[in-house]
A and B are shown apart, each in its own frame.
Chain A
Amino acid sequence: MSTVAILSRYVNESRKIAEQTAFRLGYPLVTMEDLVKGAATDWNVPESELSEALRGVTLYDQFFRKRKMKLISMMELKLCELMVEKPIVFCGYIGYPIFREISHVLEVLVLARPESQEKMPETEKGTKPFADDKILKWLKNIYKMELEDPNLYDLSINIWHMDESEGADVIINTLGQRRFTPTTYSKKVIKDLELALRIKTKLIEKLPDVRVKSHDNTAYVYSKAFKRGRKTAIETKHAIMWMDGVDYVEIYKDPKSFQSV
């Protein structure tokens, strides 16, 4: 069964459409709050710290960037674990690089006129930001992506003049297209991503530039730090060799070689 990922900075509006879609498909709805709670339990980390990592770019980032990336990685891992279990409707703004890799995820961009705008006095409409612009900054900072670039999505819907029910109709009809049918390959991709994210979460504080891929229980790990000496590479290999699901580890110090894996 295919999965729906609804990305938007219009938190309340996109949530309503996600709730309708999840209800009608019979899928669980997963929100950013669920990821925060799930990751907090799995990693024994305070929810407040995880929530902080999802906020816009702050001074905190400059000093605790490594920690922030680890916290984000924990939440991405939680998202991936939920996707391995069953199809979901996700609503939020995390996980874009994961969704890109999976052919049976329908990526939806929701644009909206938020309630806050509706409630504004007529004279102020259009003069204040519609939604949480911090989310845009956060995405640019973390994923180097423009959230509202429609080229990044399978479907863009503007619910300015559309209610949640109509929005859900459009999503469900699109999801019915054959190209979003899960394949043995796409289901395996999720499992590979889950393992790669588990490894990344373990390493990212020590190796902030770490990049990890996995195929069939083999882990491929890249970091610039491996160029500096064998010790780091050997320590990294030992650190992940004993993780569940890892049969073999390949270390890369050249980004081009890693890219070609």
Chain B
Amino acid sequence: MKRPEVLLIDDEPIVGQRLKTGLEKMGCAVEVSKDPKEAMAWVNEKRFDIVITDIMMPEINGIQLLEAVKEINPDARVIIITGFATSELARESMEKGAYDMIAKPFKPADLRAMVAQAANEMGFTDVTDGQERHDA
């Protein structure tokens, strides 16, 4: 069974730790980075199917990461998670190719549902969040 490669970037380690196990249980191969520069290097080396990134991070922000990911792999689904959500940021993220945006704090189940939908759309039909997903 092919598993979607997921990269999770957040400079708060607790966020990555909290989400990694749940995403792995869904059938994803998950790598977590709390350093956006490290994540950027990984993105250049490896083809990730789904990237989940925070926006406000030191040195490289989530929008820059989004642009880099989409340039390398336009099919990748990039999910933005942020504690500073605004209407303007949502528009900018979507314009630059984000798959979705969710504001912190969020329920891990909501993010898992988003990842499952993205994975299913990419053909990873075995990935499930264990609950029904309503259409976006």
Contact = CB atoms under 8 A, between A and B. Distances in A.
A247 interface: no
Contacts of B92: 179
Interface string B99-136: 01111010000100010000000000000000000001
Contacts of A102: 87
A186 B90 contact: yes
Nearest to A184: B102
Contacts of B97: 178
Contacts of B102: 183-185
A104 B94 CA distance: 10
B85 interface: yes
A178 B100 contact: no
A101 interface: yes
Contact of A103 (B90, B105, B136): B90
B100 A179 contact: no
Size range of the chain A interface in the assembly: 10 to 19
A188 B81 CA distance: 14
A183 B90 contact: yes
B105 A216 contact: yes
A177 B98 CA distance: 13
A103 B110 contact: no
B59 interface: no
A180 B91 contact: yes
Given A178-B97, A184-B102, A185-B101, A101 B87 contact: yes
A184 B107 CA distance: 12
B95 interface: yes
